[in-house]
Structure 1
Amino acid sequence: MTARLADNEAVLLAAYRDVAQAIDAGAAITPTAEWLIDNFHVVEKQIREVRVDLPPGYYRQLPKLAGGPFAGYPRVLGVAWAYVAHTDSLFDPEVLRRYLRAYQEVQPLSIGELWAVATTLRIVLVENLRRIAERVVESRAGRGAADAVA
């Protein structure tokens, strides 16, 4: 997970720099690109907090999933991923509480997994933001190519 987090951070930083260069060049940017510029410090803070709050030793001790797309990953990652997918990345503490209670009616989470929920949500949200940032950069590259042709 540490390697993927570092990769996500590198992609997000590259996207931030791409948008910043576009702004410096006087190019128009999308609202999504503007959000990335305005909130990049928050993204960096979340990545730092993941590194502190979920050390590799603790991460390795979390119960793993045996099957499915997250086989071999901590079960709490699958829980967080499903929550984020079902809420379209909108965070609501009460919805999260209800979601976790409903999940635990079928399969109780350990205290360690419950402790890791917040950090794991950060990981999943950073992953989603990475995908959005990649689309921003691809869109900018496509627009640049179209401008060159025109």
Structure 2
Amino acid sequence: MRESAKIILHAFHISDIAAHNDKTITPSAQWLIDNHYTIDKTIQQLRHDLSKSFIKQLPLYKQKIDIPRIFALAWLYIAHTDSEFLQETLTATINGFQKVCTLEISELWALPSVMQMLLIENIRRLSLRIEQTQYMRHFAHTVADKISLADNETKLHTLFTQYKPFTADSTFSAHLFYHLRGASIDSTIALSWLEKQLHSQNSSLEIAKADEHAKQASDGVTMGNMV
């Protein structure tokens, strides 16, 4: 939990700085900025409610003896609903589980806190993606500037070789395209190189842009479901 709090806090800081510097941020990063105070308070409360000694007392999941079964149930529900909670679906999941084995009172009491704990883990995972996205956007901007400053084809092709591996990342490719297209110099050679790299990966500029948009939209929806 402590490590998750650190990762979430770091993603919050870099997103907040980017927003204050008028940089474009993802929907999930904006959600994190808006809700970080609530997330932090939730983590503090969970440290109190779900102590290690209490968790050790919970019945274990038979197939994985190191995991309390109420955690397995909560993970199953969160995974199948993309973190969107509805009383009807949660009740149906609990009732279905209890047809196999009856939950104890301590497990039912712990369920809300366990759900929150696992959501914090999901927020941690998405926070790492926020950091990666911010880094790749900045990196693409830096590479575009280097390409724009290359004053001969030898330097240009040296840069192409150096940064070729990064074109597999849709965030990098999409934002490198945006920066090259908006450059004040002729970027035809660089754009052609980028297109060829993507084609060699069975992709294209359109696919890279669509993948980036879909990824950010999906992360934004998942984050929003966690409120």
- Name the TM-score, length of structure 1 as normaliser: 0.91
Question: What's 2:195 paired with?
Answer: none
- State the partner residue of 1:57: 53
Q: Secondary structure at the match of 1:72?
A: strand
Quote the residue 1:97 is aligned against. Answer: 91
| Residue 11 (1) aligns with residue 7 (2) | yes
Identity, % of aligned pairs? 35
Paired position in structure 2 for 1:85: 79
| Residue 32 (structure 2) pairs with residue 36 (structure 1) | yes
Q: Aligned partners of 1:143, 1:126: CA distance in 2, in Å?
A: 25
Hey, what's the Cα distance between the residues in 2 that align with 1:93 and 1:45? 24
Deviations 1:61-112 (A, max 9, x none): 11122434xx402111111000100111001122111110110011111111
CA RMSD across the alignment: 1.2
**Code of the aligned partner of 2:143:** V
**1:58: how far off?**
1.2
Amino acid of the residue matched to residue 130 of structure 2? V
List 4+ stretches of structure 1 deviating above 3 A.
Answer: none
Quick one: which amino acid aligns to residue 10 of structure 2?
A
Once the two structures are overlaid, the 10-residue window that deviates more, 117-126 or 71-80, is 71-80
Match of 2:117 among 115, 123, 128: 123
Distance 1:63 1:49 in 2: 22
Flag the structure with larger Rg.
Answer: 2
* In 2, Cα distance between equivalents of 1:64 and 1:99: 18
Query: Relative CO higher for 1 or 2, CA cutoff 8 Å, sep ≥ 6?
Result: 1
The answer to whether structure 1 residue 23 and structure 2 residue 22 are counterparts is no
Identify which of 44, 49, 73 aligns with 1:48.
Answer: 44
How many residue pairs align between the two structures?
144
Counterpart AA for 2:131: V
Residue 127 of structure 2: aligned partner? 133
Listed as ranges, the gaps of 5+ residues in structure 2 are 145-227
Structure 1 runs not aligned, ≥5 long: none
What CA distance in whole angstroms lies between the structure 2 residues aligned with 1:9 and 1:74?
Answer: 22
**TM-score when scaled to structure 2?**
0.61
* 1:91 alignment partner, SS class: coil
| CA drift at 1:134 | 0.7
Provide the rounded CA distance (Å) in 2 between the counterparts of 1:143 and 1:54: 38
1:146 has 2:144 as partner: no
